[in-house]
Amino acid sequence: MVSICKRIALHSSRRNTVYLCVRLANTFMDPKELVTGLEKRELLNEEAGKDPDPYGLAIKRGPGTKDKPTLVSSAFDSRIIGCVCDDESSHINWMWLHKGNSTRCECGFWFKLVEKPPL
């Protein structure tokens, strides 16, 4: 019993010390140190003055023929794309794009999925 009490007391006092250290560091970190994951990637990208759309979500259509399809990158085996078929079009044509063969939109444009490792 005594040993258990001693252990609990020791343990909690040690925890307090750790806690105190954290509390002493009560100042803001550099915003870059605080952020993580996708948010950090975005921040670093912005800082480097790179493309404001680091994920390349808006893709310009090239010739779009069967031989020269517009390349769409993805980290996955398939993704959804939206084609604004012509300038007057008032809606977006959504479709699935799978790895392997190219896909043709109703309007005649061809798209092909290319692998791009996650940023």
Partner 1 sequence: MTNHMNHTFHMVNQSPWPLIGAMGAMITLTGTIKWFHQYEQTLMSIGMITMIMTTIQWWRDITREGTYQGLHTSKVTKGLRWGMILFITSEVFFFVSFFWAFFHSSLSPTNELGSMWPPTGIQVFNPLQIPLLNTAILLSSGVTITWAHHSILENNYNQGLQGLFMTVILGLYFTALQAYEYMESPFTIADSVYGATFFVATGFHGLHVIIGTTFLITCLMRHLTLHFSSNHHMGFEAAAWYWHFVDVVWLFLYISIYWWGS
Applying CB under 8 A, which residues contact partner 1? 25-31, 34-40, 42-43, 54-57, 73-76, 116, 118-119
74 versus 104: smaller Cβ distance to partner 1: 74
Backbone angles phi, psi at 115, to 5 degrees: -75, 135
Annotated binding-site positions: 83, 85, 105, 107
The answer to whether 85 contacts Zn ion (rule: CB under 5 A) is yes
When binding is defined by CB under 5 A, the residue of 81, 83, 97, 113 that contacts Zn ion is 83
118 binds, among Zn ion, partner 1, none (CB under 5 to 8 A by kind): partner 1
74 versus 93: smaller Cβ distance to Zn ion: 93
85 binds, among partner 1, Zn ion, none (CB under 5 to 8 A by kind): Zn ion
Cα–Cα dist 45/36, whole Å: 13
C-alpha 82 chain-centroid distance: 19
